Amino acid sequence: MAGFPFTIAATDGKARTGVLATPRGEIRTPAFMPVGTAGTVKALTVDQVAATGADILLGNTYHLMLRPTAERVKRLGGLHRFMRWEKPILTDSGGFQVMSLSKISKVTEESVTFQSHIDGSRHALSPERSMEIQADLLGSDIVMQLDELVALPAPPERAADAMRRSARWGQRSKNAFGERDVQNLFGIQQGGLDPALRRESADRLREIGFDGYAIGGLAVGEGHQAMCEALDFAPAMLPVERPRYLMGVGKPIDIVEAVYRGVDMFDCVLPTRSGRHGQAWTWEGPVNLKNARFAEDDAPLDPSSDVPASRDYSKAYLHHLVKAEEILGQVLLSWHNLAFFQALMAEMRAAIAAGTMEAFRTAFAARQRPSGPGTSA
């Protein structure tokens, strides 16, 4: 497999910045992918999402296969056309949500069988079915192998079993995906926090050969420090010439530490989910707009932004909308947060190109006050 052309324009320590060139457009890395769970980045139009500078969205196979169903999306022209997003889309395999949202009936070597959290209907997800849904029915640009992951901390044997099953499912995913010109398939490294397991996983993935490599099984309860320790060794085990994607991460401080350690791609529901709950992310850390100190604060969240949500509306107005439980408050804060995450990625791309990533990282950590006044997690 060759994969989409991936050009690393500059490196700075372990950090890299470049471009992954897909037929639907360029993805500037390090990249943050907003999550369009069920065919929508929650509360936002695609034009609003595009205005934040997002180059690629993530879609959730689990949600889409249950509703409106992958077959219906296919009949309606594929996921891009269905949701009116013309730039690249990466879909996850469905495995994570099966294990976190549904009632699992059974995990076997063949597949995961589970009950829908929506209507209780029974479904099976195998590597082959995941490939069919992602690549053939939804029409994703970047397809993820099916993997099995475990919550951390996990017994070593459990982590090893899941890693080895993920590798076997990786091979089956590859076989089912085949060779494609305009779609890529990413493998997923597992192995928990154990360097030996992460090494074995990376070696297996490399033997199979993927277009890109994800780091899976982190940000599942191990905490920021343990995650950073795993990122001290995990990314370097993956092929240097292909994109590395840290799945489901995360808070801005997590993303900065991961970029510093050589990760290229990220996704997380945090900006939209926290926006729906009245929280805004800023260079000084998260703030809760419900806090009374914003009641007469006439300044916008970011007057230098190009995005109306950040630039045009005062914190006093956002405070009012949050207090009154107005939908517009959810819209504007989701929009602002996505714009902030994209601005963060742009700043890091510039810092890596300028050779100042170490200084950026130090300054960023010093400015963020995760437990300052008016904040909440």
Site for a copy of itself in 231-290 (CB under 8 A): 276
> Mask: binding to a copy of itself, 347-376, rule CB under 8 A, as x and -?
------------------------------
* Burial (CB count within 10 angstroms: exposed 0-12, middle 13-18, buried 19+), residue 221: exposed
Single residue of 249, 321, 339, 344 touching a copy of itself by CB under 8 A: 321
119 binds a copy of itself (CB under 8 A): no
Binding test (CB under 8 A) with a copy of itself, winner from 11, 113, 171, 314: 314
Question: Residues 86, 110, 207, 326: which binds a copy of itself (CB under 8 A)?
Answer: 326
Interface with a copy of itself, residue 138, by CB under 8 A? no
Q: Report how far residue 270's alpha carbon sits from residue 35's, in angstroms, rounded to the nearest whole number.
A: 9
**Cα distance between residue 361 and residue 86, in whole Å:** 33
- Let me know how long the chain is: 377
Binds a copy of itself by CB under 8 A, chosen from 3, 18, 30, 39 = 39
* Cβ 8 to a copy of itself shortest distance, Å: 36
293 binds a copy of itself (CB under 8 A): no
Q: Between residue 69 and residue 108, which ones bind a copy of itself under the rule CB under 8 A? A: 72, 75-77, 82-84
The Cα–Cα gap between 316 and 256 comes to 30
CB-nearer residue toward a copy of itself: 8 or 38: 38
Contact 314, 300 (CB under 8 A): yes
Query: Using alpha carbons only, how large is the chain's radius of gyration in Å?
Result: 20
Catalytic residues: 92, 267
The CA distance from 307 to 169, in Å, is 42
Q: Does 328 bind a copy of itself (CB under 8 A)?
A: yes
Number of amino acids touching a copy of itself (CB under 8 A): 39
CA distance linking residue 259 with residue 151, whole number of Å? 23
Cα 315 from Cα 15, distance rounded (Å): 35
3-class secondary structure for 196-255? HHHHHHHHHHHHHCCCEEEECCCCCCCCHHHHHHHHHHCHHHCCCCCCEEECCCCCHHHH
DSSP-based three-state secondary structure for 299: coil
- Would you count residue 299 as binding a copy of itself (CB under 8 A)? no
Q: Which of 278, 220, 272 is nearest to 249 (CA)?
A: 220
295: contact with a copy of itself by CB under 8 A:
yes
Segment contacting a copy of itself by CB under 8 A, of 64-72, 146-154, 220-228, 242-250:
64-72
Span interacting with a copy of itself, options 37-45, 94-102, 261-269, 355-363, rule CB under 8 A: 37-45
Question: Which residues of this protein are in contact with a copy of itself, per CB under 8 A?
Answer: 38-40, 42-45, 47, 67-68, 72, 75-77, 82-84, 276, 295-296, 298, 308-309, 312-314, 316-317, 319-321, 323-324, 326-328, 330-332
